[in-house]
Chains A and B, each alone.
Chain A
Amino acid sequence: MPTKRTASKISPRTVVLVTLAVGLGLPGALFAAILLLSPLTKPAVIDALVGRVLGVDPATWPWTGLAEGVAVGILAFILVNFGAIVSGMTVWWEMRVSSRMQSRVGYNRAGAAGFFQWIADAVKLLFKEDLIPADADQILFRSAPYFVMAGFALAFVVLPFGESLIAADLNVGVFYLIAVTALVVVGILLAGWSSNSKWALFGGMRSAAQVISYEIPAGVAVMVPILMSGTLSMQGIVRAQGAWPWQWNVFTNPASTVAFAIFFISQLAEGNRTPFDLPEAESELVAGYLSEYSGFRFALYFLVEFGNLWVMAAVATTLFLGGWQVPFVGPEAYAAARGAELIPGAAWWGLEALSMVVMVLKTLVVLNLIVWVRWTLPRIRIDQMMNLCWKYLVPWAFASFLFTLLWQLAVAGTPALATVSGIALTAATALLLVLFLRQTRANLVAMGDRVDLTNW
């Protein structure tokens, strides 16, 4: 061939090692930072540290508020970075998974298995010109991405990562979460309106209609775990559940299983994920509300869209799937390991890390489910989308809400009822899983194929 490629000087082994180091080290460092910082940046701890290290009374020292603010600021910085990096890695993972589901290979050039592609894409977007259409509403157009970003970043305040690993365990956590995630709609609507483009306007309007409609079934479905645990606090909801599947909210109440399905579908719709990606339907609306965005502002929308996957998965895990509860480790174990010291001992940190691992694993499972659904179902029509919400999800959400009210009365009388339901539904789920895997195997064998994970 006339083209002579200069051979790359980096050996494949180095590429794999660098990829592994970045791919595991980057999230690992962020998880470690969250693990360390979230218990240590609490105002009480900072106050005690100020009193002990500086020898001043934190109640009268004028800079106590500043010290607390700086500590929380550092934690916030780490959390936003965590959201951004998880978002980028989710893009890479989703592209790999989706391409294999479509018999393609996907990213495989930048780094081992194409892992650095998300970094390359982000850098490319940063270097692009930040175009603003001449007839766009300048101020709204420029400010819209910040609303979206704020709605995304604020959600991390109440996302639990482990037993004591949460930025702020608000006593109205779930309510707060639903409130701040609604900010994303404001940003999308602003983007659609200010672009002064028909595609963008239609996208923004569709998104507003869709997200506001699906807030209702989502909100009612969220009421089910709230009723079952009697608190709005995210950590409180997790503490009300057990570690084993038959102690999870999703199984201890038959209506909660329905509520979980409703919540999951509504989350997909609120995150504008396929099959509910009508606001940015490429075949109809170019890119919907994103049509006129470019460069960094576009990157922010993209970041939020994929970062929301983690938020959705973590919320579903917290509310229905037992959160960070570790088997055989009850609240007494945490209290015993915690002791009375200001900085707890290694045993407590180990337990916290364990609970974080459990939470992250569950979240990743749900995240993969969302990715999987996206590449399975085609986009639904707008009338079907509204039908689904108002004729199916809303009535069923209210039905499961009412059933839960009665169920809680029954459980208060006979506590064994929750256990029976939990074990029965767990067994049914396990059976369905086995049947599902058999069906998958049958699909594979029917085409004369076999499991073959080569050709990366």
Chain B
Amino acid sequence: MPTTVREYTGSIRDTVKSFWHGLSITLSYLVRRPITVQYPDRTTLPVRDMLPPRYRGFLEVDASICTGCQACERACPISCIQISLEKDPQNPKQRVVTQFDIDEAKCMFCGLCVEPCPTGSIQHTREFEGSQADLRNLVIRWSDPLHPFPVYKVDKAAEYLPRVELGTLVRAKLAARAWDAPGPRFLPPEPPAAPAAPAAGDATPAKP
């Protein structure tokens, strides 16, 4: 609150000066180019290509160089990776990975699974757009019992590991699934089939 004439006139001067400078600054911004990136459809590049190279997006597993060591499964602090290994029935010396599920909905993108991987098979990509109507569709299955893959034996003489280009596999997986695809149904185990007629089996109350 002004108590002297000098303060009174000073505050008028301040008001005029702040109008002058303030209006001039906003006018100068009016004619500048906005820095907004108009995601998703008006960007100069796809946004994944504008991200830093070590961005931790969706995990990707290159099955062709996965040794089946399960180090990533053990490293995951929230158990979003599920791996099962079996012996190949045709060739008992060859083990196959029958299940390699990563729940991207649960994943917290910490990168702890990437560190212990001996071949660099599991890596973070720069993919991040995976909207799904059903949460369960965010489980990406890198192997399943119908299509198991054999574990990779590291060639000691090889100078580098033949990994496919990072991101192509997960992109193909995401593109293959419509955003509104129905999610998988995980039903409770079937009740033991009644020895009597099937009609009686239907009549039994369902398991809670």
User: What's the nearest-Cβ distance from chain A to residue B184, in Å?
Assistant: 16
Contact between A444 and B32, CB atoms less than 8 A apart: yes
Contact between B29 and A102, CB atoms less than 8 A apart: yes
Contact between B177 and A2, CB atoms less than 8 A apart: yes
Given A2-B178, A372-B23, A97–B18 Cβ distance below 8 Å? no
Contact between B34 and A3, CB atoms less than 8 A apart: no
Q: How far is the CA of A162 from the CA of B1 in the complex (A)?
A: 45
Taking CB atoms, residues of chain B closer than 8 Å to A376 are 19, 22-23, 25-26
- As a 0/1 sequence over residues 58 to 79 of chain B, the CB contacts with chain A under 8 angstroms (1 = contact) are 0000000000000000000000
Q: Quick one: which of A381-404 are within 8 Å of B by CB?
A: 387, 391-392
Given A2-B131, A2-B174, A377-B22, A105–B36 Cβ distance below 8 Å? yes
Contact between A455 and B24, CB atoms less than 8 A apart: no
Contact between B30 and A101, CB atoms less than 8 A apart: yes
Taking CB atoms, residues of chain B closer than 8 Å to A52 are none
A104 within 8 A of B: yes
Taking CB atoms, residues of chain B closer than 8 Å to A453 are 31, 33
Q: How far is the CA of A4 from the CA of B131 in the complex (A)?
A: 11
Given A2-B174, A3-B179, A440–B27 Cβ distance below 8 Å? yes
A1 within 8 A of B: yes
Contact between B1 and A439, CB atoms less than 8 A apart: no
Closest to A375 in B: B26
- As a 0/1 sequence over residues 1 to 45 of chain A, the CB contacts with chain B under 8 angstroms (1 = contact) are 111110000000000000000000000000000000000000000
Contact between B178 and A392, CB atoms less than 8 A apart: no
Contact between B27 and A103, CB atoms less than 8 A apart: no
Taking CB atoms, residues of chain A closer than 8 Å to B8 are 391
Q: How far is the CA of A387 from the CA of B2 in the complex (A)?
A: 10
Q: Which 4 A-B pairs have the closest CB atoms?
A: A443-B28, A452-B33, A376-B22, A444-B28
15 CB contacts below 8 A, A to B, read A2-B130, A100-B31, A100-B34, A101-B26, A101-B30, A105-B38, A372-B23, A372-B26, A376-B19, A376-B25, A376-B26, A377-B19, A391-B8, A392-B12, A436-B20
Further contacts, 19 of them, CB under 8 A, given A372-B27, A441-B28, A453-B33? A1-B129, A1-B175, A2-B131, A3-B131, A100-B29, A100-B31, A100-B32, A101-B26, A101-B30, A104-B34, A376-B19, A377-B18, A392-B12, A436-B20, A439-B21, A439-B24, A444-B28, A451-B32, A453-B31
